[in-house]
């Protein structure tokens, strides 16, 4: 599903070049549940952004579902993000003025779905994450855990194969975090590929595979796929 | 992108940035108001002036005979050229480029009398076809001359509106008998009041018109004072004037190149000039309005830049879930257009009120009553659309070219 090789990412800070990724190889199969661990600044978010097609590597190659991602235009990348990837952020990133329903509908707006289809799908997903009674609530009327579940429903709107979550429980208390993690585990049971960045070792160990990043490199990959 | 969501955004901006949205909207409203008012007033002024200039007649040429300045066929220069009425009528039927030619025989200072009132006025002998091009519109219940009047040398008279008032006051004149130099004439009609800014032998309101045949039987077969010509092809007075020189040169014996032998007053030419002039006036007024609107547009561009800046993160979110550059561009442009059209609508409503107010005042005829014409409305909408797109474009481009990660981390 994901095949990234020799990824480098350099940031130019004034005259200094900061290397955030220094040659990362990741191969992840469909249906895998992967946790990414690493100290702050080790390049976890940078990697996730590249895997999520939100950012492009300075060098290296990346194939998503067998198709090369490098060289795609901005529009093509937008399409990949829309159709193949669901991204969950630490800080939820919901639209403040839209209802839960409106937020979940958003990816469907950009794939051209009709109004009815959007609303039905969004309602179904909100039911699924346990927010059937909060559809007309705006983000500031929801708790952190509820917001993150809205964000997860949004990530699922176009039924993408890959769910990327960058510290999804980072802003949540243990109970709320637990509910979100349970939802990720349900997705795995349905055959989705889930990659989750976390500082929480307990959560990480529930994943079947742990990738440890340090200083822009992979320090350890707990179960390198033998069948690759 | 759904319109509803767009409205939602706008209302959200309105709530969170009341003052700025208010300023942007009122800037546009003020601009739209000035565009509409200036266009409407310009149009009304043009229409009124056109009517006034056409009081004497529309696209006509007035012809006077004068003196030759070139020798011709053994005759010395300085000979004066004169025409009788039948010569004019003959020219009208023989020259293809002429649509209508009416002789006009004028006798100044005639005494007109009715019921103890007497006035001095000019009396002109003309033909029925003189009516339309010279804007001789009879008051209801009256008429101008007709062919039977010419044939029968009838003692009928059509009087200018001022003459009518002096002789008859407010009472109806049609059917009454008045006396011209002591001889009875039946009034067949009086002139509808018109604005006339140009004339050659006095304003029509002070003149009286009788069949040229009657004129000749009363005062003899005089030379015509002038001739009124209408080109066969509307607006093409040049071809007609050349044809008149050729025809009269041959008939009256002068060199067709001798321009001074005839004098022609071409209102077609003047019309063209007047139209140009007013287009210029309107363009200037329109430009003034458009500049005002442009200033309003800058206000909108300004607020859109702020909106885009404040919504950087949101734009990042949209991009993260699959918005293309064009989706982001369209959203910002549409919001700018929405602000502009809301402002435009307020301006339009205010302008309608102001125009109604102006029309309730006694406006002088020459200025004309401003109207909210479809043209004015259409031009305003077009200008607003241009302003909206122009104001929204730069902020929209900035939004659409954002990097998703940078926007999200903003
Ligand atoms: N836009 C940027 N410009 C410059 N340097 C950046 C930028 N984004 C990240 N970096 C640098 O790249 C490195 C990796 O950052 P990244 O955000 O990927 O770390 P992280 O592992 O996600 O850390 P955290 O656990 O704190 O979220 C850091 O040194 C960071 O300073
Ligand atoms: Mg991070």
**For B67-73, which contacts have Cβ atoms below 8 Å and span 24 or more sequence positions?**
B67/B260, B67/B261, B68/B254, B68/B255, B68/B258, B68/B260, B68/B261, B69/B258, B69/B260, B69/B261, B70/B254, B70/B255, B70/B257, B70/B258, B71/B255, B72/B249, B72/B253, B72/B254, B72/B255, B72/B258, B73/B253
Pick from B23, B45, B41: which is nearest to B354 by CA? B41
Q: List, for residues B265-296, the tens digit of each pLDDT value.
A: 988 777 788 888 888 888 888 788 888 888 88
CA distance A33 to B110: 115
| Cβ-contact A2, A15 below 8 angstroms | no
Average pLDDT value for residue range B99-128: 95
On whether residue A3 sits in a domain, the answer given is no
On whether residue A120 sits in a domain, the answer given is yes
CA distance B48 to B136: 18
Ligand 1 mean position to B87 CA, how many Å? 102
CB atoms within 10 A of CB B1: 14
Beta carbons of B322 and A75 less than 8 Å apart: no
Helix pair A100-110, A74-84: axis angle to 10 deg:
130
Instruction: Using the predicted structure, report yes or no on whether residue B1 has a pLDDT greater than 60.
Output: no
pLDDT bracket for residue B122 (50, 70, 90):
very high
Least confident of A46-50, B245-249, B292-296: B292-296
CA distance A167 to A203: 11
Query: Is A43 a pocket residue for ligand 1 (Cβ < 6 Å)?
Result: yes
| Cβ-contact A92, A139 below 8 angstroms | yes
Cβ neighbours of B1 in A, within 8 Å: 109
Q: Does B317 touch chain A (CB under 8 A)?
A: yes
Interstrand relation of A193-197 and A33-37 (parallel, antiparallel or unpaired): parallel
Domain of residue A144: give its range: 31-57+73-227
Ligand 2 mean position to A188 CA, how many Å? 23
- What does the domain layout of chain B look like in residue ranges? 2-53+272-408, 82-253
Beta carbons of B319 and A81 less than 8 Å apart: yes
Instruction: Using the predicted structure, report yes or no on whether residue A212 has a pLDDT greater than 50.
Output: yes
Instruction: Using the predicted structure, report yes or no on whether residue A227 has a pLDDT greater than 70.
Output: no
pLDDT bracket for residue B81 (50, 70, 90):
very high
Interface residues on A facing B, Cβ-Cβ cutoff 8 A: 49, 52, 54-55, 74-75, 78-79, 81-83, 87, 89, 93-98, 102, 106-107, 109-111, 115, 154, 157-158
Instruction: Using the predicted structure, report yes or no on whether residue A17 has a pLDDT greater than 60.
Output: yes
pLDDT score at B49: 77
From residue B6, give the alpha-carbon distance in Å to each of A97, B10, B254, B325, B335. Answer: 11, 6, 79, 17, 7
CA distance B138 to A103: 73
Cβ neighbours of A81 in B, within 8 Å: 319-322, 404
Task: Tell me how far apart the terminal alpha carbons of chain A are, to the nearest angstrom.
Answer: 11
Name residue A26's beta-bridge partners.
A4
Report the percent of chain A where pLDDT is more than 70. Answer: 97
From residue A105, give the alpha-carbon distance in Å to each of A154, A228, B17, B340. Answer: 7, 36, 26, 28
Query: Is A42 a pocket residue for ligand 1 (Cβ < 6 Å)?
Result: yes
- Compute the mean pLDDT over every residue in chain A, rounded to the nearest whole number: 93
pLDDT score at B398: 94
pLDDT score at B5: 65
Name residue B210's beta-bridge partners.
B125
pLDDT score at A103: 96
Query: Is A40 a pocket residue for ligand 1 (Cβ < 6 Å)?
Result: yes
Q: Is this prediction's pTM over 0.90?
A: no
On whether residue A2 sits in a domain, the answer given is no
* H-type alpha helices, A111-208: 115-128, 144-156, 174-189, 201-206
pLDDT bracket for residue B246 (50, 70, 90):
very high
Token pair belonging to A87: 């991204």
DSSP letter for each residue of A29-97 = -TT-EEEEE--TTSSHHHHHHHHTTSS--SEEEEEETTEE-TT--HHHHHHHHHHHEEEE-TT----TT
Instruction: Using the predicted structure, report yes or no on whether residue B51 has a pLDDT greater than 90.
Output: no
pLDDT score at B6: 64
ipTM over 0.90: yes
Q: Chain A to chain B, count of Cβ pairs less than 8 Å apart?
A: 68
CA distance A165 to A188: 13
Average pLDDT value for residue range A1-27: 94
Q: List, for residues B322-375, the tens digit of each pLDDT value.
A: 999 999 999 889 888 888 989 999 999 999 999 999 888 887 777 778 888 888
Report the percent of chain B where pLDDT is more than 70. Answer: 97
Instruction: Using the predicted structure, report yes or no on whether residue A224 has a pLDDT greater than 50.
Output: no
Mutate-to-test residue for ligand 1 from A7, A12, A19, A44, highest number of ligand atoms within 8 A of CB: A44
Residues 374-403 on B with a CB inside 8 Å of A are 403
- Compute the mean pLDDT over every residue in chain B, rounded to the nearest whole number: 89
Q: Is A114 exposed, middle or buried (0-12, 13-18, 19+ CB in 10 A)?
A: exposed
Which residues fall within 8 angstroms of residue B173, CB to CB, at 6 or more apart? B114, B142, B159, B164, B167, B187, B190
Q: Which residue's CA is the nearest one to ligand 1's atom 14?
A: A43
Instruction: Using the predicted structure, report yes or no on whether residue B389 has a pLDDT greater than 80.
Output: yes
Radius of gyration of chain B (CA): 33
pLDDT bracket for residue B303 (50, 70, 90):
confident
Query: Is A17 a pocket residue for ligand 1 (Cβ < 6 Å)?
Result: no
Indicate the DSSP class of residue B260.
Answer: G
| Cβ-contact A181, A129 below 8 angstroms | no
On whether residue A12 sits in a domain, the answer given is no
Residue keyed to tokens 């910002």: B332
Q: List, for residues A150-169, the tens digit of each pLDDT value.
A: 999 999 999 999 999 999 99
pLDDT score at A169: 95
CATH assignment of the domain containing A132: 3.40.50.300
Beta carbons of A109 and B325 less than 8 Å apart: no
Name residue B63's beta-bridge partners.
B227, B264
On whether residue A146 sits in a domain, the answer given is yes
pLDDT score at B3: 61
On whether residue A63 sits in a domain, the answer given is no
Mutate-to-test residue for ligand 1 from A18, A35, A215, highest number of ligand atoms within 8 A of CB: A18
Phi and psi at A67, nearest 5°, equal -105, 135
Q: Is A15 exposed, middle or buried (0-12, 13-18, 19+ CB in 10 A)?
A: exposed
Cβ neighbours of A74 in B, within 8 Å: 324-325
Structurally, how many domains does chain A consist of? Answer: 1
Beta carbons of A110 and B313 less than 8 Å apart: no
Q: Is B133 helix (H, G, I), strand (E, B) or coil?
A: coil
pLDDT score at B195: 80
Beta carbons of B317 and A107 less than 8 Å apart: no
Instruction: Using the predicted structure, report yes or no on whether residue A228 has a pLDDT greater than 80.
Output: no
pLDDT score at A225: 47
Closest Cβ opposite residue A74 in set B2, B313, B325: B325
Q: Which residue's CA is the nearest one to ligand 1's atom 26?
A: A40
| Strands of the A85-88 sheet, one edge to the other | A85-88, A162-166, A193-197, A33-37, A209-214, A217-221
């Amino acid at each position: 599903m994901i095949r990234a090789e020799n990824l480098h990412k350099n940031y130019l800070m004034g005259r200094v070049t900061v290397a955030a990724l220094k040659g990362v190889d990741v191969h992840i199969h469909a249906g895998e549940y992967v946790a990414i661990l690493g100290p702050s600044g080790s390049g976890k978010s940078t990697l996730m952004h590249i895997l999520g097609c939100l950012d492009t590597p300075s060098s290296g190659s990346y194939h998503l579902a067998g198709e090369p991602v490098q060289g795609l235009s901005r529009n093509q990348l937008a399409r990949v993000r829309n159709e193949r990837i669901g991204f969950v952020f630490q800080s939820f990133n919901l639209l403040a003025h839209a209802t839960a329903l409106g937020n979940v509908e958003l990816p469907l707006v950009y794939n051209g779905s009709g109004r009815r289809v959007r609303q039905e799908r969004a309602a179904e997903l909100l039911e699924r994450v346990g927010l059937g009674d909060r559809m007309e609530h705006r983000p500031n009327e929801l708790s952190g855990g509820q917001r993150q579940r809205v964000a997860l429903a949004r990530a699922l709107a176009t039924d993408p194969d890959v769910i990327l979550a960058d510290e999804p429980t980072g802003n949540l208390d243990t109970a709320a975090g637990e509910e979100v993690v349970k939802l990720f585990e349900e997705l795995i049971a349905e055959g989705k590929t889930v990659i989750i960045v976390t500082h929480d070792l307990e959560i990480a160990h529930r994943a079947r595979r742990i990738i440890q990043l340090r200083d822009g490199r992979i320090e350890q990959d707990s179960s390198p796929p033998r069948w690759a | 992108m759904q319109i509803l969501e767009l409205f939602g955004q706008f209302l959200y901006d309105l709530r969170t940035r009341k003052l700025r949205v208010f300023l942007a909207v009122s800037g546009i409203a003020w601009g739209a108001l000035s565009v509409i008012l200036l266009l409407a007033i310009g149009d009304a002024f043009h229409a009124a002036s056109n009517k006034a200039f056409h009081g004497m007649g529309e696209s006509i040429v007035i012809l006077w005979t004068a003196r030759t300045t070139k020798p011709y066929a053994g005759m010395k220069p300085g000979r004066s050229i004169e025409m009788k009425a039948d010569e004019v009528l003959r020219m009208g039927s023989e020259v293809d480029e002429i649509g209508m030619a009416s002789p006009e025989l004028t006798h100044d200072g005639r005494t007109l009398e009715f019921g103890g009132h007497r006035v001095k006025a000019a009396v002109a002998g003309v033909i029925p076809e003189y009516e339309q091009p010279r804007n001789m519109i009879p008051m209801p219940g009256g008429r101008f001359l007709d062919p039977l009047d010419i044939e029968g040398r009838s003692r009928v008279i059509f009087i200018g509106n001022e003459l009518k008032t002096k002789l008859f006051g407010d009472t109806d004149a049609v059917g009454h008998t008045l006396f011209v130099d002591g001889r009875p004439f039946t009034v067949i009609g009086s002139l509808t009041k018109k604005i006339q800014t140009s004339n050659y032998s006095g304003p029509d309101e002070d003149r009286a018109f009788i069949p040229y045949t009657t004129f000749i039987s009363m005062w003899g077969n005089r030379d015509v004072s002038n001739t009124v010509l209408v080109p066969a092809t509307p607006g093409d007075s040049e071809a007609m004037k050349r044809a008149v020189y050729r025809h009269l040169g041959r008939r009256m014996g002068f060199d067709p190149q001798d321009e001074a032998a005839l004098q022609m007053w071409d209102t077609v030419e003047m019309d063209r000039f007047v139209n140009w002039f007013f287009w210029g006036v309107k363009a200037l007024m329109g430009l003034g309005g458009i500049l005002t609107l442009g200033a309003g547009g800058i206000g909108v561009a300004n607020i859109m830049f702020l909106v885009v800046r404040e919504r950087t993160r949101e734009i990042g979110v949209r991009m993260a879930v699959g918005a293309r550059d064009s989706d982001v561009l369209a959203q910002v442009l549409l919001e700018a257009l929405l602000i502009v059209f809301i402002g435009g609508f307020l301006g339009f409503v205010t302008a309608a009120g102001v125009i109604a107010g102006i029309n309730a005042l006694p406006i002088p005829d020459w200025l004309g009553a401003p109207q909210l014409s479809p043209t004015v409305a259409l031009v305003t909408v077009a200008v607003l659309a241009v302003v909206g797109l122009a104001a929204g474009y730069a902020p929209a481009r900035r939004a659409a070219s954002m990097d998703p990660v940078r926007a999200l981390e903003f």
